[in-house]
Structure 1
């Protein structure tokens, strides 16, 4: 696997965790302004999630890497993104995919006693195109 480096998020947390993963999924943007993207097509998405916090859990984890993969990979891998409820009102653009991943990860992190936070989600759609989602501090989704 080629090692990737991602934009850094300035923060003062003690620990920062990054999880890389990839998944295959199809989508389409149901609007003629999307050009060829209005046709169903697929991508191998490369995703990086940055989590930070000051406290570790009882096992010494900020969050278990496996837990992050389950939140994202299990939900989206080998699916048609347009069929997911979270994309019923918004098309599954890379921007929206990154937001939905960030919100789902943060919702899970909110259940943990050590309260880590999702600082950013990078979703690479092609070798030359990616989106960075960074929740604002105090965002109601975080």
Structure 2
């Protein structure tokens, strides 16, 4: 894992959890403007997930680190992102597996899981590195809007 200092987002919560993970995946961007990215290619994505909240769960966790890893790594590692039709598609730019959209979708997946927890933590930031020199930071809109 790359040792990295991540940009932080200010928030009013007492606890902040950060989980680093990675997954290897292929994708292509179905747009005539994507240049070489329109061809299928792969990356080793490095992800930092930031979760915040005021209350711990019945185990004393904000959220268990292993649960966050399962949500992302187990789902996407060694896959074709475009093949996850429930998340990505060729029909609209908001569904293309660009780094920006992947970061947003990772946040949405994590937040759906967090919504089921009794302590109600929030995913406040996704840092997604696609290459050693390129990354995206995604933060949900104020008020908890997770839509595109």
Q: Same fold (TM over 0.5)?
A: yes
TM-score range, shorter chain: over 0.9
When the two structures are aligned, how many residues end up with a matched partner? 142
Structure 1 counterpart of 2:143: 138
Q: Over the residues paired in the alignment, what is the CA RMSD in angstroms?
A: 1.2
Map 1:55-66; keep pairs closer than 5 Å.
55-66=55-66
User: In structure 1, what is the Cα distance between the partners aligned to 2:4 and 2:58?
Assistant: 30
Q: 1:119 aligns with which of 124, 127, 142?
A: 124
Structure 1 counterpart of 2:74: 74
Q: Which moved more, 1:37-46 or 1:88-97?
A: 88-97
Q: Does 1:96 align with 2:107?
A: no
User: In structure 2, what is the Cα distance between the partners aligned to 1:95 and 1:27?
Assistant: 13
Shift of 1:2: 3.5
Note the residue ranges of structure 2 that are not aligned, 5 or more in a row. Answer: none
Structure 1 counterpart of 2:27: 27
SS in structure 1 at match of 2:110: helix
TM-score by length of 1: 0.96
TM-score by length of 2: 0.92
User: In structure 1, what is the Cα distance between the partners aligned to 2:110 and 2:72?
Assistant: 8
User: In structure 2, what is the Cα distance between the partners aligned to 1:2 and 1:80?
Assistant: 23
